[in-house]
Amino acid sequence: MNTTEISKYISLILRHKPEVIGVTLDEHGWANVEELIAGIQKTHSIDRALLEEIVRTDAKQRYSFNEDKTLIRANQGHSIPVDVELPVVEPPEILWHGTGEKYTESIDKNGLIPKSRLYVHLSGDEETAQTVGKRHGKPVIYKVLSGQMAKEGYSFYQSVNGVWLTKAVPAKYLEKQI
C-alpha cells in the first residue's frame, strides 16, 4: 500500500470509523498515536516515521499532532460527533463553495447542508473552491455571503488548515457563479 492509500485509510479512521482498527477517539477527536500505529499495522506497513511524514507532507493538512506527538486527530471532515475545539471566528465578507453540477438543484433549493459531516466546508478564495468543485464532476462555484450571515447570528470557525466551517448556509446567502 502506498503513502496516499495509507493517508486515506488514516482519514477513514480519524474522521469516520475508528472502530475499524479498535481505536477510540476522545471527545475532541484525538487518538493515541501508538494505538493508531498498532491498529494500522494489523493490515498495513506503517511506523512512526511514516506517520509523521504523512502528517507533515499532506497537501490538504488533514491531520495534527498534539505538542508531544502522543496524540493525533483529523483537523475537520468528521462524520462522528467530536469537538475539535475551534474558536468562533469573524469570517470575511465573502467565502466560496465549490461543488459538482449534479448537486446544484438541491443546493439552490435547500442551501448548503453538512450531509454526513458536522459542518459545511467553505473556501477563502474562488480558486480553491474551483479545485474542490472539480472533485465532484463539472464544477459549480457559489459565492457565500458570509459577512451578512455572521451579522445575522451564524457562527463560523476556521480549521487549522484554513478551511472555513459553519453548520449550514441557507439558500438566501448563496449566489451561483456562472
pLDDT digit string (tens) for the chain, length 178 residues = 788 899 999 999 999 999 999 999 999 999 999 999 999 999 999 999 999 999 999 988 999 999 999 999 999 889 998 888 888 999 999 999 999 999 999 999 999 999 888 899 999 999 999 999 999 899 999 999 999 999 999 999 998 888 999 999 999 999 999 7
Half-sphere exposure of residue 52: CA atoms within 13 angstroms, side-chain side: 9
Residue 16 has a pLDDT of 95
CB 72 within 8 A of CB 40: no
CB 113 within 8 A of CB 120: yes
* Terminal Cα distance for the chain, rounded: 41
Instruction: Say how far apart CA 153 and CA 52 lie, in whole Å.
Output: 39
CB 142 within 8 A of CB 174: yes
Half-sphere exposure of residue 122: CA atoms within 13 angstroms, side-chain side: 29
Contacts of 87 (CB under 8 A, 6+ apart): 157
Neighbours of 15 (CB within 10 A): 23
pTM: 0.76
Which residue in 68, 77, 70, 83 sits closest to 29, CA to CA? 83
Residue 116 has a pLDDT of 82
Residue 38 has a pLDDT of 96
Residue 149 has a pLDDT of 98
CB 178 within 8 A of CB 161: no
Name the residue with cell 456562472: 178
